[in-house]
Amino acid sequence: MKIITMSEMFIHPSLFFILGGLLIPFLRGRTKQSYMVAMALLAFLAVVIMPHGTYGIYEFLEWQLTFGNVDKLSKVFAYIFCIMGIIGIIYSIHVKNDGELLAAFYYVGGALGVTLAGDFLTLFLFWEIMAFSSVFLIWYRKSEFSVKVGFRYLLWHVTGGLILLAGIIIKYNLSGDLTINHFPFHGWWPTDLQSLASFLIILGFIINAAVPPFGAWLPDAYPVATVTGAVFMSAFTTKTAVYALIRVCAGSEILIILGVVMAIYGVVYAVLENDARRLLAYHIISQVGYMVAGVGLGTQMAINGVVAHAFCHILYKSLLFMGTGSVLYMVGTTKLTELGGLYKTMPRTMIYTIIGGLSISAFPLFSGFVSKSMTVAAFGEEHLMWAFLLLMLASAGTFLHTGLKIPYFIWFGKDRGIKGKEPPWNMELAMIIGSLFCIGLGVFYQPLYLLLPYPTNFKPYTLYHISETLQLLLFTQLGFFFLIKKLWCENSISLDTDWFPRKYAKVLMWFANKPLSNLEYNYIGEVYEFIIQKPIMRVAYYFMKIDTVVVDGAINGVGKLAMVCSQKMQKVQSGQIQHYAMIMLAGVIILIIIGVVLP
Amino acid sequence: MENIINNNINYPVLSLITFLPLLGAVFILVIRNEVLIKWFALSTTFGTFIVSLPIYKYFDKTTHKMQFVENYPWITTWNINYKVGIDGISVLFIILVTILSILCVTVSWRVVQHRLKEFFVSLLVLETAMIGIFISLNAFLFYLFWELTLIPMFLLIGVWGGQKRIYSAVKFVLFMLAGSVFMLVAIIMLYHVGGKTFDILELTKVNYPVGLQLWLFSAFFAAFAVKMPMFPIHTWLPDAHTEAPTAGSVILAGILLKMGAYGFLRFSLPMFPLAVNMLFIPLLILSVTAIIYGAYVTLMQNDIKRLIAYSSVSHMGFVTLGIFTLNQTGIEGGILQMINHGIITGGLFLCIGMIYERTHTRMIEDYGGLAKTVPVYMIFFTIFTLAAIGFPGLNAFVGEFLIISGAFKANMIIAAFSIIGIVLGTSYMVWLYYRVALNEINENTKPKLFDLDLREIATLMPLVFLVFLIGLQPEILLSYMHVSVEHLLEQVHTSPIIEDYNISDSVNLMIQNLKKYIIGG
Amino acid sequence: MSLLKIIEVFRTKTMKRIAYAALILIFVIDFFIPRYEIHFFGDVIPGFWSLFGFVACILIILISKWIGRLGIMQDENYYNE
């Protein structure tokens, strides 16, 4: 490796997670806990002191790998990933399983790597690291469910990664360059090689962003992850995909439609959901839909909105997962049909979750208000009113679920007499930090705006805007209480777009099991038997017969003849001298006759 | 002889490398003491490794010509000489052989219970034969070494193997012989057509007529395809790999499979370029079939060794895919992947062998939770598993990237299918890993499991080192290949088409006569 | 817990009345708020968003349930793995 440029002020924050994580299995107790938090804090500091520019360039074969591409866009994402890392680690320091902690570390390290990657190969490397480490966050839940779900998750991500790789290879073949640059996909379908490359790349990103119809892995996997794992997962995979989309595919019009559909899709499915964490997972799809649509729009305000939204979303979504995760941890279930009346025993958790719900719904004074509305307003600016209205519709739905349905059914609703308890201090501390951010950013939003890639002159706190939002949300609440009977949950699951592979994965496996194995063992394998072994053995058998029957037989026959003759001869030998004398005399006379008479 | 250059080495280094193991085998024949035999075998293989190092130091990477050439007349009436040499394509295989042979000796330290002497003798003779194949520049010599590998391998499987060892050994030999018979006929034909010589370089220079090329290519194909193995004549592989002792499996998977691909590169591509160009698409399709079929069947295996064996079918499919793309990236990827496969699969078989030594079962259901019981072992197993998947940063990723790059240049649709193969590859390896490493601990085997001792760690370390080295600095290996592969491609792509005089004319005549007979009356 | 007491306060009938009053207040205030960036007709009509929110909520719930009844909602053990 030839190091071309390295600046002293650039320390790749991933290093703290990837290398620092290696030490975790060797530490115990308080040392381990403080060490982990320290690593996350150091990573955050590394991001703070990172100046803009390109660093960490290495030569690899004929390519140039760039590990540190720092500009406003990557820096703001790096910030939020580090902050989330800190919060998540605080939430998880009670976890005993070192493997799970290691997985979380590598997951965060991978996300930071993707953010700061300057070329596609580095991006792919970290993309794969993220996929492989996050699957352990599912597997460590150790229910029989989680095994299968983990495999599905991994297969989705590996396939997505490979599609991405295919796109990268084609692009490389075309342009000879691996640097990450703006390479949007226009139109609806690939028309030539160039658009095929961008199509495959955007497809690879979309799969990770959980865009329908490829997003079924998210609601499949997130509810089954560990209590702490889900907190991490809600933040990273989809947001790194959003980052990648902003970086590479901004302005790809197809994303607008996909995003809007996504936003509504998530909301629709969430109505039917019974498991609180799966409901939140569908909500991630809905929220990311806003982001994807914003990326598709591509204007400066839209991109700003997406970035701000991603920043705040990570914070309030993780807060929601932390809240419901605490319920899972302390009570043992997140099924809404089995919960209710917990406000009496877990009031503080309820407050934090409600704060999260108000943030996600973009209530004034909370973080969502200053971020989500920017994206939606961008659509308004461009006069794409259909998208604008549909997104507002989805906002109503968001409040419906996260702000109303979840709190109502978990903490109020029918009191089933479940005894909860407030979660351990570290989980509560993490939730407090998250809540502070949610409220803090809602009130003091200027620092956030300064971090955004483009200059912002969006003013969230206009009277009109406040009124608009309050009307929307509060009257949604009215509707909620009107139809509350309809919203009672049932113990069911909803079929998603992975129905086909799941139902028919069995077919696939059956194919491998029966016909293919049949082919392999009974036909192709047996070819050796049929063509070689049996005929050869048969021919050998015949030759053996020739050997034993004919040849040996002949020799035996000769031997037998000799035996018979000699037996007969034996009879001739009577043992009496006069017979011998007579025969001798006869013999001599015959000899004389032959010797004298004949010639 | 203008195709060779002189290097700075004054002694016959290639012959030394080749025959040192044989010498060691001869010495072992007279040693009685078992421990002494083992140490002697170890020193011989280690010595061979040391002796092979100067090649890499003095290798001239700027030329495609043969280096370190030795030429001694042997049977002059038929122009059979003892001629050996290496170029950028063959040079890397020598060190692969020497390293894997050392590891085979160390891993068999305790396993072999009876007939220890014969075991190590077979191993060393096998090493000689293998090196001989890669350095031969005379077709007859090549065939000699090719067949020579059969005997020790037969013994290794048949005497020290598992339950079905006789059956597997016989199957192995029969398959190989069937293929090589065709090769022998082809070599003899080459002798006659190519100017009464067996010299490979001379034979390469001749431009053969198209029809003849096709016949000869098919004949050689029979031999190489059985060896690789290509679908559908791969069925000897699972049996042979599974029933062989660990050292046998490592050598089989690590080296012997590569001989087929090497044959393609040394014989088929340079000598029969027209045939190769004509059969371009069918060969690619056959490769992709091997990739996907092999991966699919692997999913169903319950025996770990069989699983890895079938995965070799899939991996060698990648190698042939790379070779038959007929472009620089693809072929370099193919050669690199051959080395990688030798390292990775060799490592996996070593791992399995070590665990088999303890539990005497290869069934996946007998394992579970190894991550907790034998953590050190797990680290190695994880590294090899990740390498087999093609995880970026480890060696196989570079090979696969290059191969798929080359494949996309050759034919996009076929390349797309090969990606399915990678997904399947990931699935079966991850599934195996999960069932073996992470699942519930299996109580039956738990008491028998104890972690790796120093000897075993020392056996695995070189391979792990190589996995990372090649993954992060593949240029170290690729730099040897560039010029030779370029030259090879020149030979493939720029060859004049000579109208065939013998075969196709007579076939045409035959068809015309048939037509007259059937139609004309 | 004092927090519980606070929450209990919110559940009383009085609070419900205050909440309804707030709703009406917000609806009315909208008539007096100055409009800045007018992108479409809804921006101009006062109280538009109240209606929108209410209708949206009802629509979402009804349509989703309908789609669910169509076949998306299944028993938990549907995939039966």
pLDDT digits (tens, 9 = 90+) for C21-50: 877 877 777 777 666 666 666 666 777 777
Q: In chain A, whose CA is at the least distance from the CA of B432? A: A151
Indicate the number of domains in chain C.
1
If one counts every other C-beta atom within 10 angstroms of the C-beta of residue B339, the result is: 21
CB contact under 8 A, A132 and B391: yes
User: What is the Cα–Cα distance from B70 to B84, expressed in whole angstroms?
Assistant: 5
User: What is the Cα–Cα distance from B123 to B116, expressed in whole angstroms?
Assistant: 11
pLDDT value at position A485?
Answer: 66
pLDDT value at position A5?
Answer: 43
User: What is the Cα–Cα distance from A495 to C69, expressed in whole angstroms?
Assistant: 12
CB contact under 8 A, B434 and A124: no
Question: Are chains B and A touching, using the cut-off of 8 Å on CB pairs and a minimum of 3 such pairs?
Answer: yes
Indicate which of B306, B429, B434, B479 best probes the interface with A, i.e. most A CBs within 10 Å of its own CB: B434
pLDDT at A560 > cutoff 60: yes
Residue extents of the structural domains in chain A: 250-492, 499-583
DSSP state, A252? -
User: What is the Cα–Cα distance from B185 to B139, expressed in whole angstroms?
Assistant: 12
Spans of chain B, pLDDT less than 50: 1-2, 501, 503, 521
Which one, of B194, B324, B340, B192, lies nearest residue B268 by Cα? B324
CB contact under 8 A, A493 and C73: yes
User: What is the Cα–Cα distance from B167 to B179, expressed in whole angstroms?
Assistant: 18
Interface of C with A in 37-66 (CB under 8 A): 37, 39-40, 42-43, 47-65
CB contact under 8 A, A479 and C27: no
Instruction: Please name the member of A474, A487, A503 whose beta carbon is closest to the beta carbon of C61.
Output: A487
Touching check for A508 and chain B: CB below 8 Å? no
Is residue B65 classed as helix, strand or coil in its secondary structure? coil
| Longest Cα separation, chain C | 59
Alpha-helical segments (H) within A273-366? 276-297, 300-331, 347-360
pLDDT value at position A505?
Answer: 65
pLDDT value at position B196?
Answer: 77
Question: Which residue type does A514 have?
Answer: K
Question: Are chains C and A touching, using the cut-off of 8 Å on CB pairs and a minimum of 3 such pairs?
Answer: yes
ipTM above 0.85, yes or no: no
Instruction: Please name the member of A121, A162, A516 whose beta carbon is closest to the beta carbon of B297.
Output: A516
User: What is the Cα–Cα distance from B123 to B250, expressed in whole angstroms?
Assistant: 11
Residue C77, domain member (yes or no): no
Q: List chain C residues with CB under 8 Å of A220.
A: none
CA distances from A218 to A115, A148, A266, A501 (A): 21, 14, 11, 15
Structural domain harbouring C62: 2-72
Residue entry with tokens 């050998």: A540
Touching check for A528 and chain B: CB below 8 Å? yes
pTM of the model: 0.80
Residue C27, domain member (yes or no): yes
Indicate which of C49, C55, C78 best probes the interface with A, i.e. most A CBs within 10 Å of its own CB: C49
Question: Two tokens at A56?
Answer: 């960490």
To the nearest whole number, what is the mean pLDDT of chain A?
Answer: 81
Q: Per residue in A1-44, pLDDT tens?
A: 334 444 456 788 888 888 888 888 788 878 888 888 888 888 88
HEC secondary structure over chain C: CHHHHHHHHHCCHHHHHHHHHHHHHHHHHHHHCCCCCCCCHHHHCCCHHHHHHHHHHHHHHHHHHHHHHHHHEEECCCCCC
Mean pLDDT lowest among A28-32, A72-76, A154-158, B248-252: A28-32
Q: Per residue in A344-379, pLDDT tens?
A: 778 888 888 888 888 888 888 888 888 888 888 888
Question: Two tokens at B504?
Answer: 């196709």
pLDDT value at position A529?
Answer: 64
How far is the alpha carbon of C36 from chain A, nearest alpha carbon, in Å?
8
Contact B301, B310 (CB under 8 A): yes
pLDDT value at position A43?
Answer: 87
Indicate which of B300, B382, B413, B432 best probes the interface with A, i.e. most A CBs within 10 Å of its own CB: B300
Instruction: Please name the member of A348, A471, A502 whose beta carbon is closest to the beta carbon of C26.
Output: A471
Question: Are chains C and B touching, using the cut-off of 8 Å on CB pairs and a minimum of 3 such pairs?
Answer: no
Residue entry with tokens 């461009």: A382
Is residue A492 classed as helix, strand or coil in its secondary structure? strand
Residue C79, domain member (yes or no): no
Residue C7, domain member (yes or no): yes
pLDDT at A215 > cutoff 90: no
Touching check for A485 and chain C: CB below 8 Å? no
Instruction: Please name the member of A400, A491, A494 whose beta carbon is closest to the beta carbon of C68.
Output: A494
**Residue C24: CA count within 13 A, CB half-sphere:** 5
Which one, of B449, B270, B266, B471, lies nearest residue B356 by Cα? B449
